[in-house]
Amino acid sequence: MNDVLLSAQRLTKRFGGLAAVNEVSVDLWRGRIHAVIGPNGAGKSTLTHLLSGDLAPTTGAVVLGEREVTGWSPERISRAGLGRSYQKTNIFLPFTVWENVRLAAQSRAPHSARWLARADHFLSTNENASRAIELAGLADRKSRIAGTISHGEQRQLEIAMSLATAPQVLLLDEPLAGMGTAEAERMVQLLLRIKPDHAIMLVEHDMDAVFALADHLTVMVNGQVIASGTPAQVRADANVQSAYLGEGVQ
């Protein structure tokens, strides 16, 4: 049994009277991709925010490694070994691709407070950034301004930035959003490349990608988990078929 690197335990998030996330539990294992799927408004993004510290849960707990990180600020959770990418591209548009990733890598360096040395002279940071850019397949785009690259490349940059902090756990929120077939295929290959070294939670709508990538699948509807198991099990689950996949799906 692979180690559980992140465990969300009965997370609930209420906004006023509405429970956007209701008693949701999710485990992430090293080297495995756990996909979370569901219709719009199911609470998947909210769940991601709860795990990354952008939102504090109303009840429930988040355990990262050995530590309980419930209610921690996003920066604290990030430093504890969690990285995430965003559904809506959340990069530094005016900076170059290289600077985007270098800055991400710099967050882990003790020298962020140095104010007289040149930022791009720090070897370890540069190496980490290079590695993340290579993995994400953006090596030939390094000096382009992030705002000028294609949408698909921006999504790759999202991933590169979340990799540059060398996290153990990755939360990927719709990395394939808005991608054409070729780009999506590249992204799937990317995710397969990084899978062995991370515990990944993948929120996605692209069902082909989900079934190609996921080792474990959780289905959310209206804030609750209606099914959780291997892709085959979930596909066969009657609840899921009627609520989400639609009748007649194999």
Nearer to another protein, 40 or 250 (CB): 40
Q: Give the Cα-Cα-Cα angle 227, 230, 234 (nearest 5 degrees).
A: 40
Q: What binding mask, one character per residue, do residues 94-133 give for another protein by CB under 8 A, x or -?
A: xx---x---xx-xxxx-xxxxxxxxxx-x-----------
At 140 the three-state DSSP class reads: helix
Q: Is 71 among the residues that bind another protein (CB under 8 A)?
A: no
Q: Is 75 among the residues that bind another protein (CB under 8 A)?
A: yes
User: Element (H or E) spanning 123, and its range?
Assistant: helix 123-135
Q: What are phi and psi of 117, to 5 degrees?
A: -80, 160
Question: Cβ 80 to another protein, closest distance in Å?
Answer: 9
Q: What binding mask, one character per residue, do residues 27-56 give for another protein by CB under 8 A, x or -?
A: -------------------------x-x--
Q: What binding mask, one character per residue, do residues 190-229 give for another protein by CB under 8 A, x or -?
A: ----------------------------------------
At 160 the three-state DSSP class reads: helix
Nearer to another protein, 38 or 83 (CB): 83
In this structure, the strands spanning 33-37 and 216-221 are parallel
Q: Is 145 among the residues that bind another protein (CB under 8 A)?
A: no
Tokens of 68: 């309980």
Nearer to another protein, 95 or 211 (CB): 95
Considering only 8, 62, 64, 91, the residue that binds another protein (CB under 8 A) is 91
Question: Cβ 45 to another protein, closest distance in Å?
Answer: 14
**Which residue in 105, 83, 97 sits closest to 157, CA to CA?**
97
Give the residues across from 19 on adjacent strands: 14
189 burial (CB, 10 Å; 0-12 / 13-18 / 19+) is exposed
Residue pair 26/218 in contact by the 8 Å Cβ criterion: yes
Considering only 30, 79, 205, 235, the residue that binds another protein (CB under 8 A) is 79
Provide the angle, in degrees to the nearest 10, between the axes of the packed helices 123-135 and 181-194: 130
CA atoms of 78 and 91, how far apart (whole Å): 16
Question: Cβ 165 to another protein, closest distance in Å?
Answer: 6
Question: Cβ 78 to another protein, closest distance in Å?
Answer: 4
The binding site for another protein (CB under 8 A) comprises 52, 54, 73-75, 78-79, 84, 90-95, 99, 103-104, 106-109, 111-120, 122, 161, 165
